[in-house]
């Protein structure tokens, strides 16, 4: 390679690396005019550092998070995107703390497991669910939140969702990214609220006639039901819940329903509502029975 060709290759290589957070692929090296012999020389001289098979850091191996994420995406081939926890870190929804990089590829892709990369496969990952952020192919914030449902705790998902809203990211249908909480998760959340706010402890999963209700203050004839989206969405669930509420009302009970979003985002309103229903029964004088 002539001196002029070598200089041109260096300029082209530097431009590519600058746009990709310091990393380049083998194909890009060759496109810049760097042949196999020159690549070997650069590796030995410490001017290229192998990050993954076919992906190199240029100049040094101390990559930033963005350089590490870009390298992982490039290593997984065309169509691969940053996703899950790593995408959440790139979008600043969650802190960057996990050592492995999450990358999603289309189902049927031939990439094998790679050290330092957690590969996810998805048939539903269409182009409209991906974008570029700082030059890195990544899932959109809405898709990232959906992916997080499968790999983080409900509390982390709630924080990520709130952060996305604070940052003004478009999320579409908010109900689609509610935490997939189990019944026991919701129970613990609601009971914790009651305890911290010094409300009387309710009966949990109590039987009232033919029904088992989430929370019952029997003396006040007050029932609270906590509704997770997964188990209370759809027409059939809607009709069932209303028929159940009507049956309990006919038996003399008041039913209040709170969603996960209300418990998570408006706990003061939840507690004020319950307290308002309980206060009359707590302050009225005890019933004096005749002798």
Q: What is the distance between the alpha carbons of residues 179 and 148, in angstroms, rounded to a whole number?
A: 9
Is 51 a member of any domain?
A: yes
Please answer whether residues 72 and 66 qualify as being in contact, where contact means their C-beta atoms are separated by less than 8 angstroms: no
Question: Using alpha carbons only, what angle is made at residue 51 by residues 48 and 55, rounded to the nearest 5 degrees?
Answer: 75
Q: Does position 76 have pLDDT exceeding 80, yes or no? A: yes
Is 261 a member of any domain?
A: yes
Please answer whether residues 33 and 12 qualify as being in contact, where contact means their C-beta atoms are separated by less than 8 angstroms: yes
Which band of pLDDT confidence, cut at 50, 70 and 90, is reported for residue 111? low
Residues 170 and 188 in one domain: no
Q: Among 128, 166, 140, 133, which residue's Cα sits nearest to residue 65? A: 133
Residues 161 and 79 in one domain: yes
Provide the CATH number for the domain around residue 207: 3.40.960.10
Residues 187 and 170 in one domain: no
CA 55 to chain centre: 28
Is 71 a member of any domain?
A: yes
Is 46 a member of any domain?
A: yes
Looking at residue 149, what is its pLDDT?
Answer: 84
Is 288 a member of any domain?
A: no
Q: Among 149, 177, 205, where does a domain finish? A: 177
**Tokens 């350089």 belong to residue:** 67
Which band of pLDDT confidence, cut at 50, 70 and 90, is reported for residue 287? very low
Contacts of 29 (CB under 8 A, 6+ apart): 13, 39, 48, 56
Please count the residues of the chain.
291
Question: Using alpha carbons only, what angle is made at residue 48 by residues 43 and 50, rounded to the nearest 5 degrees?
Answer: 85
Q: Among 34, 58, 82, where does a domain finish? A: 58
- Give me the DSSP letters along 232-277: S-SHHHHHHHHHHHHHHHHTT-EEEEEEHHHHHH-HHHHHHHHHHH
Residues 210 and 239 in one domain: yes
Looking at residue 174, what is its pLDDT?
Answer: 44
Looking at residue 1, what is its pLDDT?
Answer: 53
Is 130 a member of any domain?
A: yes
pLDDT digits (tens, 9 = 90+) for 185-229: 778 889 999 999 999 999 998 999 989 899 999 999 999 998 754
Is 290 a member of any domain?
A: no
Q: Which domain holds residue 46?
A: 3-58
The number of folded domains in the chain is: 3
Q: What is the distance between the alpha carbons of residues 235 and 238, in angstroms, rounded to a whole number?
A: 5
Residues 225 and 160 in one domain: no
Looking at residue 232, what is its pLDDT?
Answer: 43
Q: What is the distance between the alpha carbons of residues 110 and 76, in angstroms, rounded to a whole number?
A: 9
Q: Among 36, 58, 80, where does a domain finish? A: 58
């Amino acid at each position: 390679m002539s001196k002029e060709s070598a200089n041109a290759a260096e300029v082209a290589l530097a431009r590519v690396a600058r746009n990709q957070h310091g990393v380049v692929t083998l194909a890009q090296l060759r496109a810049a005019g760097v042949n196999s012999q020159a690549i070997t020389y650069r590796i030995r001289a410490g001017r290229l550092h192998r990050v993954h098979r076919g992906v190199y850091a240029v100049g040094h191996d101390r990559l930033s998070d963005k350089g590490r994420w870009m390298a992982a995406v490039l290593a997984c081939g065309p169509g691969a995107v940053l996703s899950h926890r790593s995408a959440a870190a790139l979008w600043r929804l969650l802190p960057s703390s996990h050592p492995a990089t999450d990358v999603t590829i289309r189902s049927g892709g031939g990439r094998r497991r790679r050290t330092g990369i957690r590969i996810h496969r998805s048939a539903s990952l269409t182009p409209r669910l991906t974008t570029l952020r700082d030059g890195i192919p990544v899932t959109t914030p809405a898709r990232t939140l959906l992916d997080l449902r499968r790999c983080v705790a409900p509390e982390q998902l709630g924080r990520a969702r709130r952060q996305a809203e604070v940052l003004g990211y478009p999320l579409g249908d908010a109900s689609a990214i509610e935490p997939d909480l189990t019944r026991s998760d919701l129970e613990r959340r609601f009971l914790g609220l009651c305890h911290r706010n010094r409300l009387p402890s309710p009966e949990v999963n109590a039987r009232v006639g033919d029904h088992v209700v989430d929370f019952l203050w029997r003396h006040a004839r007050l029932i609270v039901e906590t509704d997770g989206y997964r188990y209370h969405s759809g027409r059939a669930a809607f009709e069932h819940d209303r028929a159940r509420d009507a049956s309990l009302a006919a038996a003399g009970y008041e039913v209040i329903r709170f969603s996960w979003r209300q418990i998570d985002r408006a706990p003061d309103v939840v507690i004020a509502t319950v307290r308002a229903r309980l206060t009359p029964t707590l302050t009225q004088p005890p019933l004096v029975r005749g002798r």
